[in-house]
Amino acid sequence: MEELIAKRYIKALKDGSNIASMQNVTSVFSALAESFKDDKFVSIVANPNVNAKEKSEILLEAVKPANSDKLNNLIKLLVENKRISIIPAMAEELQRDLAKTTKTYTGVVYSDSDIDKKVIDELSSGLSKKFDSTISLEFSKTDFNGIKVEVEGLGIEINFSKDRIDSQIIEHIIKAI
């Protein structure tokens, strides 16, 4: 539900904006979303005893470096409509939208064994060419028995499981006999 509301606000925010201003807004909302991970901040913004004016002042002070009337008006509107809680959803949606606009995505390579940085760079380069985008990959060591590549923004998931490959080889040998 929050995503749908966030998309409406973002659509209005994007109207008439260029990529540079949207990158600025995205970074501001990402910083605000990080604030929602702090329990003290959440307790202040969600507290019904703190009036809307004080909440608005707190949030406006946080976005002051952006120096944007459009952003200030959006914050005031969110406070007025009691929708401060959707700021993290808006930050996430803004990042997705910016990634789609600039065709720049990040992904993760999962494996139980260490993978050389050069191999990850080659995977990144190959996927970038295949999907006509800029894709950067990071390595994450997990207990996955094989290699798994996920690029969430593009909806890509590629995996090579050692167990599955072994079972397919055995099936192929059995069929050949």
pLDDT per residue as tens digits for the range 82-119: 888 889 999 998 888 888 888 889 899 998 888 888 88
Question: Would you tell me which CATH number, out of the four given (3.40.50, 1.10.3470, 3.30.160, 3.40.30), belongs to the domain 103-176?
Answer: 3.40.30
C-alpha–C-alpha distance, residues 135 and 132, integer Å: 9
pLDDT digits (tens, 9 = 90+) for 7-23: 888 888 888 778 888 88
Provide the pLDDT for residue 72. Answer: 87
As a whole number of angstroms, the distance between CA 2 and CA 17 comes to: 23
Separation in Å, CA 21 to CA 56, 73, 157: 22, 15, 31
To the nearest whole percent, how much of the chain has pLDDT over 70?
100
Extended strands (E) in the chain: 104-111, 134-141, 146-151, 156-161
Measure the CA angle with vertex 116, ends 114 and 117; round to 5°. Answer: 125
**Burial of residue 131, with CB atoms counted within 10 A of its CB: 0-12 exposed, 13-18 middle, 19 or more buried:** middle
d(CA 146, CA 131): 23
- 165: pLDDT strictly greater than 80: no
- Which residue in 105, 94, 93 sits closest to 154, CA to CA? 105
Q: Was domain 2-100 assigned CATH 3.40.50?
A: no
Q: Is 172's pLDDT higher than 80?
A: no
**Tokens for 150?**
């996920």
pTM of the model: 0.72
Residue ranges of domains in the chain: 2-100, 103-176
Whole-angstrom Cα distance, residue 83 to residue 129?
40
Q: What are phi and psi of 82, to 5 degrees?
A: 55, 45
Question: Residue 141 is encoded by which pair of tokens?
Answer: 């060591």
Hey, CA dihedral for 132, 137, 143, 145, is it positive or negative?
positive
